[in-house]
Amino acid sequence: MAEVNSVSGPLDTADLGFTLMHEHIIVQSPGVTSNFPVWDREQEIDNAVAKVNDVMARGVKTLVDLTPGDWRDIPFVQEVVRRTGMQVIVATGIYYDVPRYFKGRSADHAAELFVRDIQEGIVDTGVNAGIIKCAADEAGIDAQVEKMLRAAARAHRATGVPISTHTHAASQVGFKQQDIFEDEGVDLGRVIIGHSGDSDDIDFLRRLIDRGSYIGMDRFGLDMLLPTDKRVATIARLCEMGYAEKMVISHDASCYFDWYDSALMRQAAPNWHFSFIPEVVIPALREAGVSDDQIRTMTEENPRRIFEQQGAY
């Protein structure tokens, strides 16, 4: 089998096991926690350890942390990994709110930084990224977002690690991401179009898959965007149509997420946590007619295949 970079070092893809392909250990606004007294770091590490231990006890073996370079905190993630033993793969890349630093610099410059994260390591942490994150949302793809997408594509072609995206399903911006990746020579079979599970438009989802990409059915617990029963029914229908081998499932949840007050988020989205899929969604998929083999395909085999596709091109 191939190896993938993880927080703990090279990881054999055969050992990935049940993998949640789009999660976050910590999402923090750049510069805030280092300049204002807005959190208790040690308490938040304790909270994260408890959440990760809980999902591990439910059979999840690997988390893919898709926090981009402008929001991540690798030492925080390292401590959680050290205290839990969870296998965590972290990302390089930039979110769609492109930092000012990159606005006056080229796609090639950004790509060089992403490649460094993958091949040499993330600053002085000793951790190498194992996946590339890029993003576009409802506003679409302006010149700066396009630059980051092209940088992600070029870093992918230089390293061979997969690309996973943030999208806005309602505006079908995933198609535009695919267009740019194809223009950069990317094999769309090495791309996950994320947040596709926010849509129950089967035709839209089939069109993404039929261009070669995997789709991320990865916002379970965010019922305000699409209720769980509709998400489950959409996956069941796509499985019935033979598309289990092109889907991965996840929550896009976080242990620490500073965009909103945590108490309000628990009230608004009580099911938005790492354990919701193994605890609730997997039984619901079975009840909807999804076989254990198809569940294993989406949670184990597809992540393994995504990461074992190796090689620059």
Q: State residue 169's pLDDT score.
A: 97
Full DSSP string of 235-289: HHHHHHTT-GGGEEE----EEEETTS-HHHHHHH-TT-STTHIIIIIHHHHHHTT
| Entry pTM | 0.98
The answer to whether residues 68 and 94 touch, using CB atoms and an 8 Å cutoff, is yes
Phi, psi angle pair for 91, to nearest 5°: -110, 160
- Tell me the two tokens of residue 246: 């092109």
Q: State residue 10's pLDDT score.
A: 97
For the chain, 313 residues long, the average pLDDT of each consecutive 10-residue run is 94 98 96 94 98 98 97 97 98 97 97 98 98 97 98 98 98 98 98 98 98 98 98 98 98 96 92 98 98 98 96 86
Instruction: Reduce the DSSP state of residue 18 to 3 states and report it.
Output: coil
Q: State residue 102's pLDDT score.
A: 97
CATH of domain 3-308: 3.20.20.140
Burial 13-32 (b: 16+ CB within 10 A, else e): beebebbbbbbbbbbbeeee
Kindly give the pairing relationship between strand 3-6 and strand 9-12. antiparallel
- Tell me the two tokens of residue 232: 């489950």
Q: State residue 212's pLDDT score.
A: 98
Domain segments of the chain: what residues?
A: 3-308
CA distance 116 to 120: 5
Chain segment 232-244, per-residue pLDDT in tens: 999 999 999 999 9
Q: State residue 9's pLDDT score.
A: 97
Q: State residue 312's pLDDT score.
A: 85
Q: State residue 213's pLDDT score.
A: 98
Chain segment 112-123, per-residue pLDDT in tens: 999 999 999 999
Q: State residue 210's pLDDT score.
A: 98
Instruction: Reduce the DSSP state of residue 162 to 3 states and report it.
Output: coil
